[in-house]
Amino acid sequence: MGNLNNTVSWITGATGSIGSAISTLLAKSGSNVVVTDVDFDRAKNLSIQLNDLGFGVLPLQLDVSDKKAVESVGKVIKEKFGRLDILVNGAGISPKGENGRVPVEDINVEEWLRVININLHGAFYCSQIAARLMKENNSGHIVNIASQAGRSYSAITGAHYAVSKAGLISLTRQMAGELGPSGIYVNAVAPGRIETPMIKDVPKEVNQQIVNNIPLRRLGTPEEVANTVEFLVTPQSSYLTGVVIDINGGRLMI
């Protein structure tokens, strides 16, 4: 606790299962956390909970697919804190059909674009703003929440989701290469199946089948994802950039 004192963190999709675990852990570690989410009521509630515990948290409404709104959040962060040390791109959606994954031939173009706009373009917009702010101090950390679906074929998610996460991994590597000389680290985590409401989009038997194929024989937790993100934004990972850390209980070993 306390190793992120005097830092400013910005989490997108901050009120989701994984986002709120990350926001909570970074706040507990001493960071001033800006929690942004498309759902402002939930952002406010999360900030009230964390403020009650004595942590400095600022809630802001943000749809990451709205470039202008992303720029406004960057301005607020600059005015309020004067700096940005950590960005976690956590906002994401994974639309399913009634019976789980929508087959590639049935994904309509609007839905395809919606997923790419939020999961990939949103992270790109936020990272652009973050990179500009971080360059002012020649330091910073960007962590992208990718997915196992972006690493290999996924039997669960739609092609739009898998493509958005594969794109996010590529964006991670490109930004790591470009921003490394400015002291800015860019890494990704690729969670496998994590115990969150997102996994209830498919029948129980499907999740059980997945567990049977995981060497650790259980799903992961949001806190386990948060722990890895925290590792990536502290000096403990000081020679890691452009990496993708798989958090999947051994399900995918590459």
- When CB distances to ligand NAD are compared, the closest residue is 16
DSSP state of 249: T
Give the whole-angstrom CA distance, residue 17 versus residue 176: 27
How many residues lie near ligand NAD (CB under 6 A)? Answer: 30
248 binds ligand NAD (CB under 6 A): no
152: left (phi over 0), alpha (psi -120 to 50) or beta: beta
Interacting span for ligand NAD (CB under 6 A) from 27-35, 46-54, 85-93, 236-244 = 85-93
Please, is 13 exposed, middle or buried when counting C-beta atoms within 10 Å of its C-beta (0-12, 13-18, 19+)?
A: buried
Least Å distance, CB 124 to ligand NAD, is: 13
194 binds ligand NAD (CB under 6 A): yes
13 binds ligand NAD (CB under 6 A): yes
Contacts of ligand NAD in 21-40 (CB under 6 A): 37-39
**In the beta sheet, which residues pair with residue 245?**
189
DSSP state of 84: -
224 binds ligand NAD (CB under 6 A): no
15 binds ligand NAD (CB under 6 A): yes
Between 145 and 184, CB nearer to ligand NAD? 145
Give the whole-angstrom CA distance, residue 157 versus residue 141: 28
Among 12, 29, 32, 228, binds ligand NAD (CB under 6 A): 12
Among 65, 127, 154, 241, binds ligand NAD (CB under 6 A): 65
92 binds ligand NAD (CB under 6 A): yes
**Would you please indicate which residues are annotated as catalytic (active-site) residues?**
161
Task: Find out whether 20 and 11 touch, Cβ atoms under 8 Å.
Answer: no
Q: If we measure between CA atoms, which residue out of 14, 17, 18 comes closest to residue 34?
A: 14
145 binds ligand NAD (CB under 6 A): yes
Helix (H, G, I), strand (E, B) or coil at 93: coil
Give the whole-angstrom CA distance, residue 227 versus residue 143: 12
CA 184 to chain centre: 17
Task: Find out whether 150 and 136 touch, Cβ atoms under 8 Å.
Answer: no
87 binds ligand NAD (CB under 6 A): no
Q: Which x/- pattern over 107-126 shows residues binding ligand NAD (rule: CB under 6 A)?
A: -----------x---x----
Q: If we measure between CA atoms, which residue out of 27, 25, 24, 23 comes closest to residue 5?
A: 27
Which residues of this protein are in contact with ligand NAD, per CB under 6 A? 12-13, 15-19, 37-39, 62-65, 90-94, 118, 122, 145, 147, 191, 193-194, 196-199
